[in-house]
């Protein structure tokens, strides 16, 4: 159950998700909030995704092979508000119940100050106390005791402060103590592996996310890294 607001172009993370051959045994549900600014070269809106098109508000999408299926419109919500995460967790877990559930935070990370920064709401972040409240209330509303995996596809979220907050709510944490290149995780690789093995345990999935991330960036010429971190 990814949630975030960056990399929406056909060549971005949603494009990677759509490039995978999906199976009905795995639901990949995304809540994404695109910025009002229209500047595709800087990663803001403007670009269309197959089956979805372009938009500037907040949408819920169920990703499939070659496209995404709109499954809900939220209007313009603040991704830095705890209620936004609470509502998404309650809705997603109830609508798409599963034997195993993962939640991926997908945007900017800053460690103890928190996660995100909604460009449409004065860069409001989800700070750690707000995240703790949202996870507790969201899972309670969903009727789920604990997530199998929480991931942060963003920078600097592998700290003791973050771990203290998320530890009660998931069995596995996947995060980076360092900066992440802007293109983030290799969704095509690890989601493809999950589709082939839907029964994969959470620790095995976490390991696959880290391995495919490392493998992708180890193949790049380091002269390109200035662009990747921009």
Instruction: Please list, in sequence order, all residues whose beta carbon lies within 8 angstroms of the beta carbon of residue 3, skipping any fewer than 6 positions away.
Output: 30, 31, 32, 79, 85, 88, 103, 104, 105, 106
3-class DSSP assignment, residue 192: helix
pLDDT at residue 220 in the model? 66
Tokens of 203: 């620790």
At residue 105, the pLDDT reads 96
User: Does residue 151 sit in helix, strand or coil?
Assistant: strand
By the 8 A CB rule, do 201 and 209 touch? no
The pTM of the full predicted model, rounded to 2 decimals, is 0.90
In angstroms, the Cα distances linking 75 to 46, 86, 223 are 18, 16, 40
Taking the C-alpha atoms of residue 98 and residue 214, their distance in angstroms, rounded to an integer, is: 28
Supply the pLDDT for residue 224: 54
Q: What is the pLDDT of residue 222?
A: 57
Q: For residues 141 and 5, what is the distance between their CA atoms, to the nearest angstrom?
A: 24
What is the C-alpha end-to-end distance of the chain, expressed in Å? 26
Q: Give residue 227's pLDDT.
A: 45
How would you label 53-78 residue by residue, b for 16+ Cβ within 10 Å and e otherwise? eebbebbbbbbbeeebeebeebeebb
pLDDT digits (tens, 9 = 90+) for 38-69: 777 776 777 777 677 888 889 999 999 988 89
Q: 101 has which bridge partners? A: none
Query: What's the average pLDDT block by block, 10 residues per block, for the chain (230 residues)?
Result: 39 83 96 82 72 85 91 92 97 96 94 92 95 98 97 96 97 95 90 96 98 85 50
What integer pLDDT is reported at residue 212 of this predicted model? 95
């Amino acid at each position: 159950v990814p949630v975030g607001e960056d990399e929406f172009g056909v060549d971005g993370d949603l494009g990677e998700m759509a490039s995978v051959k999906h199976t009905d045994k795995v639901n990949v549900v995304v809540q994404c909030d695109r910025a009002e600014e229209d500047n595709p070269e800087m990663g803001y809106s403007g670009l269309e995704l197959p089956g979805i098109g372009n938009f500037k508000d907040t949408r819920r999408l169920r990703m499939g092979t070659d496209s995404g299926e709109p499954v809900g419109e939220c209007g313009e919500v603040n991704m830095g508000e705890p209620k936004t995460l609470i509502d998404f967790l309650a809705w997603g877990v109830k609508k798409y119940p599963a034997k195993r559930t993962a939640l991926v935070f997908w945007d900017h990370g800053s460690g103890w100050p928190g996660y995100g920064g909604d460009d449409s709401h004065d860069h409001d972040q989800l700070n750690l106390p707000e995240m703790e409240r949202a996870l507790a209330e969201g899972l309670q509303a969903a009727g789920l005791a604990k997530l199998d995996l929480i991931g942060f596809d963003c920078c600097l979220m592998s700290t003791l402060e973050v771990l203290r907050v998320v530890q009660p709510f998931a069995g596995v944490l996947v995060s980076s103590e360092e900066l992440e290149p802007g293109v983030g995780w290799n969704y095509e690789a690890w989601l493809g592996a999950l589709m082939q093995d839907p029964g994969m345990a959470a620790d095995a999935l976490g390991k696959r996310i880290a391995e495919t991330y490392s493998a992708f960036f180890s193949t790049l010429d380091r002269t390109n890294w200035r662009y990747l971190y921009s």
